[in-house]
Amino acid sequence: MFPRMANSAPSFRAPRGTSITCANWQIEAMYRMVQNNLDAEVAEDPARLIVYGGSGQAARNHEALAGILATIRRLRPDETMLVQSGKCVGVFRTHVDAPRALLANGNLVGDWSNWDEFRRLQQLGLVMYGQMTAGSWIYIGSQGIVQGTYETFAAAGRRHFDGELRGRLVVSAGLGGMGGAQPLAATLAGATFLAADVDAERIRKRLDTRYLDHLAGSVSEAIDLAWKKRAARQPESIGVVANATELLDAIVNKGLVPDLLTDQTSAHDMLNGYVPDGMNLDAARALRGSDPAAYVRRARDTAVRHVRAMRRLQDRGAVTFDYGNNLRTEARDAGVADAFTIPGFVPEYIRPQFCEGRGPFRWVALSGEASDIARTDELVLEMFGDDRSLATWIEAARKRIAFQGLPARICWLGYGERHRFGLAVNELVRRGELQAPIVFGRDHLDCGSVASPYRETEAMQDGSDAVADWPLLNAMLNVAAGATWVSVHNGGGVGIGKSLHAGQVTVADGTPDAARRIERVLTVDPGIGIARHADAGYDLARSVARERHVDLGAG
């Protein structure tokens, strides 16, 4: 649980411009990005340091955050800061090519890696939940997942609807941090979109940023409008303030069937993320504080109804898939035996891209100037314009993606592409074509950085779903290659004990040293994704390894 903060809680905004507070741009990048994670344009609840997912924090508490920022301001170019669950616990002299920070969030020993033990330790002020990019300081708002969601919807269209989503309806729920990408991603893919969220403020935020087109006044109105837009083949999005089960039950009762059905509520955290039926947000917060056990029971009962409604629509013909938020697991554990009849989105639609070392690569303009992202967009088209899908994405993003906090872009580049692009951007910084350095990062949901049997590594070909060596190897490899900061987290978007994942961020400051680090990091980071999938027996990954000269050793 998280205490409510007073209205006087500080506000956050990353510094802009070319003047720096820290010893160099490598360190300044951390200073800006941790504050960018908590910018009100970016974070769900910055007063409580919650970035997204209902409980994912950028720092353990306000005192710890102040300590992190103070330490970054005095950090030297040959020192490394250690951050344990959102609190700085030490600074050690290393060398200039070592990471400037190493972060570990919420990692517990196997038998203790569960929500009850985590929450006990959280109450003692010893741990925090870092989600994926919340506690690793590279969250960029809903824009960070738009392309991945677009790629998923587009892949579903290719598989089930002859590549055409126009005239098709996607139904979902959850319009918070990550789920907020869904309406724009669906309409970019050509579909009509309908979703519920219990939090009116989240819907308002999506309207303000033009990710969502319409707010309906009731569930019935929302359904009527969605089916009218579908019949007219109009790629527009509709939101409604309601619980997911309320929307799905109404669709079932009307005898309607959407074309695609998924969910992005914060079901990984039954206490702090998921809201039970029949409760407004104030009532939910009150029950969380007064009787957490009762709250979790009610939330799990709702998850059961939620999944059963999805299964009914799936049986009627809706193409239904899980979007990696642990909803199926909660329902299964509460008695829904057929919950996993709903397949996961990674094995269904994304794994071939992982086999090629592709995934949600991203970069951020530390200047704060949109013109810097515009120039990098041009660079993508100059370098990779022959990839029609990628070019279409960049062109659409330039028109439709509203920046949140520091201007940023996401682009699914793969092995051999990331490091070449990174070097080219570093050269733009060197030549003064960009006003300030760029930071490169990615979602932890990447090709070789996650062990998550209910999401990224679900249904691996060799049965290695739960093998967690790979994210640890990924983190160590990125440290060895010289990433600017590296992180290892427990839980991600599926919950404590159900995922282990790693992230890296690397700064392009225009120097030759940065170029060498970029070339190493942006080669090995996606490269381990190819190695991971080749080791699991995927022929595509083995073929890519041969073609692109990824050395898989003699094993």
CATH of the domain at 221: 3.40.50.10730
CA torsion angle 157 158 163 164 (round to 10): -10
Cα 444 to Cα 26, 43, 198, 253, 395, distances in angstroms: 21, 18, 27, 39, 25
- Say if residue 37 is in the same domain as residue 180: no
Which letter does DSSP use for residue 344 in this model? B
- Say if residue 192 is in the same domain as residue 100: no
Residue-by-residue pLDDT tens, the chain, 555 positions? 444 444 455 789 999 999 999 999 999 999 999 999 999 999 999 999 999 988 999 999 999 999 999 999 999 999 999 999 999 999 999 999 999 999 999 999 999 999 999 999 999 999 999 999 999 999 998 888 888 899 899 999 999 999 999 999 999 999 987 788 899 999 999 999 999 999 999 999 999 988 999 999 999 999 999 999 999 999 999 999 999 999 999 999 999 999 999 999 989 889 988 999 998 899 999 999 999 999 999 999 999 999 999 999 999 999 999 998 889 999 999 999 999 999 999 999 999 999 999 999 999 999 999 999 999 999 999 999 999 888 989 998 999 888 999 999 999 999 999 999 999 999 999 999 999 999 999 999 999 999 999 999 999 999 999 999 999 999 999 999 999 999 999 999 899 999 999 999 999 999 999 999 999 999 999 999 999 999 999 999 999 999 999 999 986
- Say if residue 181 is in the same domain as residue 100: no
Taking the C-alpha atoms of residue 25 and residue 377, their distance in angstroms, rounded to an integer, is 22
Taking the C-alpha atoms of residue 200 and residue 196, their distance in angstroms, rounded to an integer, is 10
Question: Within a domain: residue 239?
Answer: yes
Question: Within a domain: residue 312?
Answer: yes
Question: Within a domain: residue 171?
Answer: yes
Q: Which pLDDT does position 4 carry in this prediction? A: 43
Q: Which pLDDT does position 7 carry in this prediction? A: 46
Boundary residue ending a domain (89, 123, 157): 123
CB 426 within 8 A of CB 508: yes
CB 188 within 8 A of CB 226: no
- Say if residue 105 is in the same domain as residue 212: no
- The total number of residues written for the chain in this structure: 555
Boundary residue ending a domain (343, 372, 387): 343
- Say if residue 116 is in the same domain as residue 171: no
Question: Within a domain: residue 42?
Answer: yes
Question: Within a domain: residue 386?
Answer: no
* Residue span of the structural domain in which 242 resides: 165-343
Burial class (CB within 10 angstroms; exposed 0-12, middle 13-18, buried 19+) of 107: middle
411 a catalytic residue: yes
Boundary residue ending a domain (293, 325, 343): 343
Taking the C-alpha atoms of residue 101 and residue 551, their distance in angstroms, rounded to an integer, is 29
Q: Which pLDDT does position 143 carry in this prediction? A: 81
Taking the C-alpha atoms of residue 250 and residue 219, their distance in angstroms, rounded to an integer, is 8
Question: Within a domain: residue 317?
Answer: yes
- Say if residue 315 is in the same domain as residue 201: yes
Q: Which pLDDT does position 1 carry in this prediction? A: 46
H or E element that contains 229: helix 219-231
Taking the C-alpha atoms of residue 148 and residue 154, their distance in angstroms, rounded to an integer, is 10
Question: Within a domain: residue 91?
Answer: yes
Q: Which is the catalytic residue, given 88, 355, 411, 447? A: 411
- pTM, full prediction: 0.89
- Say if residue 114 is in the same domain as residue 174: no
The most distant pair of C-alpha atoms in the chain lies apart, rounded to whole Å, by 66
- Say if residue 42 is in the same domain as residue 186: no
- Say if residue 53 is in the same domain as residue 103: yes
- Say if residue 187 is in the same domain as residue 106: no
Question: Within a domain: residue 383?
Answer: no
- Say if residue 85 is in the same domain as residue 204: no
DSSP 5-46: PPTTPPP-----SS--SSSSHHHHHHHHHHHHHT-TTT-SBG
Q: Which 3 state secondary structure label does DSSP give 242?
A: coil
End-to-end, the C-alpha distance of the chain in Å comes to 46
- Say if residue 172 is in the same domain as residue 72: no
The total number of structural domains in the chain stands at: 2
